Each structure stands twice: as structure tokens, then as C-alpha cells.
Homo-oligomer: A and B are copies of this chain.
């Protein structure tokens, strides 16, 4: 099990919110069960399907890390709650994403259902077992973790060095890429404005205003609160990273 480098054996994985899809990359040839997928099928065996209602807690920061999860449908947020009641969302996970893996002892963040959610829960003990016996599995976990790191670094830059409008624009681009929606095609925005604000380190009002601005300048369309379409990705990318 390659711990370090090694030219990322598998197909390049698009950068999502942190934990990249461990599952097969969507849009890939649908030939079932390639050799390197045996680990995924093994995982499949040990999982249990569980559902969580919107806004319920899946696990808490500090809980004993008993399971690794994979999202079947719905969306999840990973939050840090501070002593004085502030909240920072570290990541949003969508269908196909894994979370709670590789936690040493206890979870270091709270996981909550953004919408009604169906997940597979894999007992940590058995995931560990698998990774011990299957090089492909441990390699996958490492790659996954690396992707998480990459995503968090980008998130840091967003929070540390981008203006409000830039953050919102970047966020929309991430979501759009993630939903592989075409330019002009609306994609789902399952999280509330408050969730977005807490992900971007802003207030809900600032998020609203930024969205209104982008709409007013015809870069996006907002058919309804939980759906957005990018009308001019060129210009939106510029807005996400304005040179001045």
C-alpha cells in the first residue's frame, strides 16, 4: 500500500469539496467491476444503509469514530461549532462522497444532514481490516485523504484572501463543477443560505447580496432558492478571482 507519492494510479479525480468521490468517476465507461474495483465491492459487503432526516445530526464532534460513511443520496455538512456559538462549515458532501474515514479515535467535527439523506455506514473496524489486507483499498483511502487536503487548502485561500463576492462566485463554480451541469443549466443547491454563509465565513445577508449582484449582472440565474444556473461562466470565473 503506497503511502506517499506514486503517480495517482487511478483516473484523475475532479476537485470537489474536499473528500473527492472514492466511487467510480461519473462519466466513465460503465464496464462493471474492473479489477481495481474489487475493494469497492468488498466495502459494499460490509455496509448498512441508514437514513437521516434533514437537519439531524449524523455524529458529533468528539464522538467515538465508529463508522465511515458514504452518501447514497442527499447532502451532508461537516461543521465545527465554537464555544461561543459560532459555526464554521468545513465541507459539504454530496452523493458518492465519503466522510468520517480515517478519524483517529474520535470524530473531529460534527456531521449533519443538509437534506434528507441516505448513507451507507461501514464499521470503522472492518474498513481498517480491509485496508490492511487490500493494497488497493488503502491506496484509495490515501488518495481520498490527499484530495481532502487539497480541498481544504483551497478553502483556506477562500476564507483568508478572497472578498465576499469572490467567495460566493467560487462556491457556485465548485457546486456547478460538482453537479457537472452545463453552462446555463440549473443545478441543485441543497444547502440553505445560512449554510453557505457558514461555509464561506460570511453572514447570510452578505451571501444574499452577492447572489443578487451576480444575478443583476446576468452572470447567474436563480430559478428558485435551491437551484442556480450559471449563465456566463467566463465572467463568473473572473468574478471569483478578480485581479483588482
Contacts and interface: CB of A to CB of B under 8 A. Distances in A.
B156 A2 contact: no
A63 B241 CA distance: 23
Interface string A136-167: 01100111011011101111110111000000
Q: Copy number in this complex?
A: 2
Contact of A156 (B80, B127, B148, B243): B80
Contacts of A47: none
Contacts of A244: 84
A1 B8 CA distance: 20
Contacts of A86: 157, 161
A200 interface: yes
Contact of A4 (B8, B82, B127): B127
Given A3-B138, A80-B157, A149 B241 contact: no
Contacts of A150: 108
- Interface size class for chain A? 35 or more
Contacts of A243: 83-84
A1 B243 CA distance: 46
Interface in A17-64: none
A198 to B, nearest CB: 8
Given A132-B3, A138-B1, A8 B161 contact: no
